[in-house]
Structure 1
Amino acid sequence: MKSHLNTSLEPPKLTNSELSKRKNLDRAPRPRLASTIVLTHGPKNKLKILMGKRSIKHDFMPSVYVFPGGRVDKSDSYAKYTGELSMRTKTILETAYNSRKARALVLASLRETYEETSLMIGRKEDHKTNSKSTWNEFYKAGLTPSLDGIEVFGRAITPPHRHKRFDAWFFIKNIDTKRLPDISDTAELEDVAWFTFEQIWELNLQRATKMMLNALVEYLNFQSLPSNIFFSRAERGKFITDTYPKA
């Protein structure tokens, strides 16, 4: 029975071009907190995953397929919510942040999912609010974002040579419905669809996405979930993969 993380997943090495860019930066930008969620549907042997292609107009990772996600906004810390995080996910996140920020990190992934794919994940509840944030769209639809069933499985910090850097946390949630939820293209993502693993590996993927897909496959093979997660980052020109928190 598999019960521990394989930290020997081979990380990509920095190319000479990337090393040169890193050296030419006066100062590496500070990573911004970000959140990504892998939404799955169906049994493990027929799993489908929600992804979309970033617009060519994006200056960060254009024209590649990604999971829904993005920066954590201030509004995420004050959004109404229902449900609770699992003790495992709560413990891992609160090793790094207080409870409000940990919760905001998860909520951000749900907000970004709506903004990028038009899919709202929540529970039916009536609201009276005039929030100016994206969350108002949830409230007008009679939904409260739900934390139930969301688990954390990875973390990746963008290397210092990038002009934009993120401290991205990766979550997973299975959509337990008989039919695939409705989705649509947005200004953020094109070709939004539910893909099988076989289809995903044929898409144009950024190498960090490939690495996190491997971490996802490993996570899905666990019989019992580990108390830590896959963690990738770069230090002194080298990629490092281990766990967070450290075992």
Structure 2
Amino acid sequence: IIGRPTGKCLSTGNKVWQSYFNHGVEPPLDQIDFIARAVTPTYRTRRFDTRFFMVYDEFIHADPEEMGKASGELLDLHWLTLGDARKLDLPAITRSVIDMVEERMRLDRKEQMKKPAPYVRFINGKPLITEL
């Protein structure tokens, strides 16, 4: 659970959000760093429109090793160092995002949040990168 403690009981009619609020947190929107967006090329069999985010561990309000109560959306979640992640067979964009994370971690928080997020997509088979 990523969130900021509220000290109060938030409620909503939406069951998914209520399940989240029951943990006593609210989304720390001002602390979630949007790093990049990437759309898989049309020639790929499996396509994704992915957004990459980064958040400090102080906003994690659950045991990150305990996945027994997870939603099932991420079936094989495990934690790696950036170096160990680079050793995996990953798409080029994921490797680029790992580099961006490492670069941002060298900056103070205010500077991190000022960095633009690249939007990577393919037009007529050629990569197009714009800043968001």
User: TM-score with structure 2 length normalisation?
Assistant: 0.68
Offset of residue 120 of structure 1: 4.0
Say whether 1:182 aligns with 2:69: no
Contact 2:2 2:61 in 1 (8 A): no
Offset of residue 240 of structure 1: 3.1
SS at match of 1:234: strand
Contact 2:3 2:27 in 1 (8 A): yes
User: TM-score with structure 1 length normalisation?
Assistant: 0.41
Q: Specify which of 99, 123, 128 is matched with residue 5 of structure 2.
A: 123
Structure 1: distance between partners of 2:24 and 2:11: 9
Contact 1:152 1:170 in 2 (8 A): yes
Matches within 5 A, 1:2-21: none
Contact 2:82 2:98 in 1 (8 A): no
Structure 2: distance between partners of 1:160 and 1:227: 28
Note closer, same or farther for the CA distance 1:240–1:204 as it changes in structure 2 (3 Å cut).
Answer: same
Unaligned runs of 5+ in 1: 1-118
Q: Specify which of 150, 168, 182 is matched with residue 32 of structure 2.
A: 150
Partner of 1:232: 120
Matches within 5 A, 1:236-247: 236-241=124-129, 243-245=130-132
Matches within 5 A, 1:42-53: none
Contact 1:153 1:219 in 2 (8 A): no
SS at match of 1:214: helix
Offset of residue 204 of structure 1: 4.0
CA distances 1:33-92 after superposition (whole Å, capped 9, x unpaired): xxxxxxxxxxxxxxxxxxxxxxxxxxxxxxxxxxxxxxxxxxxxxxxxxxxxxxxxxxxx
Select the structure of larger CA radius of gyration: 1
Contact 2:38 2:49 in 1 (8 A): yes
Structure 1: distance between partners of 2:119 and 2:92: 15
CA distances 1:113-170 after superposition (whole Å, capped 9, x unpaired): xxxxxx24232321344423x2121223333222131222222122122456444332
Instruction: Determine what percentage of the aligned residue pairs are the same residue.
Output: 26
Unaligned runs of 5+ in 2: none
Q: Specify which of 180, 187, 198 is matched with residue 83 of structure 2.
A: 198
Structure 2: distance between partners of 1:141 and 1:180: 8
Contact 1:159 1:233 in 2 (8 A): yes
Structure 2: distance between partners of 1:204 and 1:227: 27
SS at match of 1:215: helix
Q: Specify which of 186, 204, 208 is matched with residue 93 of structure 2.
A: 208
Partner of 2:41: 159
Structure 2: distance between partners of 1:240 and 1:129: 40
Partner of 1:137: 19
